[in-house]
Structure 1
């Protein structure tokens, strides 16, 4: 099969399965829902706080949307390990590198497109509740933060996809990555703050700050997050090529 044909088949798989399709839709719906709820209730009240950072705070709901992005990457891969589906896939596409590259490309492309729509929509929706405190896309760093947020969500999906290929279980991946993204950075930050900066979530979210603090800038932080994702994807490829289906 040509690579284009494999891409098309992987697109059909993802849109046909409730788990990956629902998780991808949840990235948008959860982020927008939490944004509307948070900004409509306490948005303007919190804007006067001394430590308020209008640009970073605009992406508060991304902390919830990123869980859905992890779920999308994990379920898009783990569905291949249910009921022997991987054996059928590899019978159709015997070249495992070909098969894996197409799957990762579809996962990454869909996650990036959804992430960009989510980021811009969440930013604009949140600011619609802020009245005189609202900032626009002309605010310094706003467009960069929206684009970076979309890329960040895609990188998390790829991180989960690579790890799911290694572990062959979406549940196992989420039980590892959700605490790793939501809890571990705070624990490590209390002990060794400089180390926590290089964890995927802390590094990736540097792009959301108007003036990032610490060792990493907005794009270098996103590059560190990309390195984590690339390592997971390559580990998945190595595992897929050397292990029986």
Structure 2
């Protein structure tokens, strides 16, 4: 079965909904700006991680990626929008898979450009500390950063589909990422390594110190995103349009 028309239709929706390109622009601007500021930090600490410092702007920047994923799905729950989409693509699972694929296709390249720009912006402030980073570590972090942002956007898309509301999804995810995850991490030790954000961000570290490694951490985040999408797809199949 040809999926091209469905993908093209979903891509057109993303291009024409003004808030979505704006979210990607905010992702680039926030991540790059905060990384540039972090690059000017004190590098004398023996535990200083120049790679994570250079990409620390991802922590606030990921909110834009989460907003992108949630908004791309929640726009379908405006009155009559989902009925029109399902009239064109009656198979809800196929439609939701196309939506997720287009979200990933939009976020990943922006994530690559953003991570590369953030790294370059921060290196200027890191000075001699930047010399510790080899090419392989930097490539791994840039690619891993793009994958991480994509997975967080997909996780938000799944939660928005499950709750049938972008506002509800963001009300749950943003406090979790900015507050709850840090509190849980401080209180539970290694258990926090398996939270979606903590696990995925290990790929941004020069030498991750924990239960998981860079890619196994991203695999954990992928499992969270996959579970969210499965639950969102289940809700879409059972709920009325």
TM bucket (normalised to shorter chain) is: over 0.9
1:114-129 paired onto structure 2 within 5 Å: 114-129=110-125
State the Cα RMSD in Å. Answer: 1.6
Q: 96, 102, 127: which is aligned to 2:98?
A: 102
Does 1:33 pair with 2:33?
Answer: yes
What is the CA deviation profile of residues 45-66 of structure 1, one whole-angstrom value per residue up to 9, with x for unaligned ones? Answer: 5112233111111111111110
Normalised to the residue count of structure 1, the TM-score between the two structures is 0.93
Q: 226, 232, 238: which is aligned to 1:230?
A: 226
Does 1:182 pair with 2:181?
Answer: no
What is the CA deviation profile of residues 139-191 of structure 1, one whole-angstrom value per residue up to 9, with x for unaligned ones? Answer: 45221111101100000000000010011111111110111122222222232
- Matched position secondary structure for 1:129: helix
Shift of 1:136: 7.9
Distance 1:46 1:177 in 2: 31
Unaligned runs of 5+ in 2: none
What is the CA deviation profile of residues 57-99 of structure 1, one whole-angstrom value per residue up to 9, with x for unaligned ones? Answer: 1111111110000000000000001122001111111111121
**Which runs of 4 or more aligned residues in structure 1 lie more than 6 Å from their structure 2 counterparts after TM superposition?**
none
Cα distance change of structure 1 residues 131 and 103 upon mapping to structure 2, 3 Å threshold: same
Q: 168, 171, 186: which is aligned to 2:167?
A: 171
Distance 2:36 2:103 in 1: 27
User: 73-82 vs 51-60, which deviates more?
Assistant: 51-60
Give the paired residue count: 241
Normalised to the residue count of structure 2, the TM-score between the two structures is 0.95
Partner of 1:149: 145
* Residues 163 and 173, structure 1, Cα contact 8 Å, conserved in 2: yes
- Matched position secondary structure for 2:28: helix
Does 1:56 pair with 2:49?
Answer: no
Shift of 1:138: 3.1
* Residues 38 and 54, structure 2, Cα contact 8 Å, conserved in 1: no
Distance 2:128 2:214 in 1: 27
Partner of 1:86: 82
What is the CA deviation profile of residues 89-133 of structure 1, one whole-angstrom value per residue up to 9, with x for unaligned ones? Answer: 111111111211111100011111111111111111211233333
Unaligned runs of 5+ in 1: none
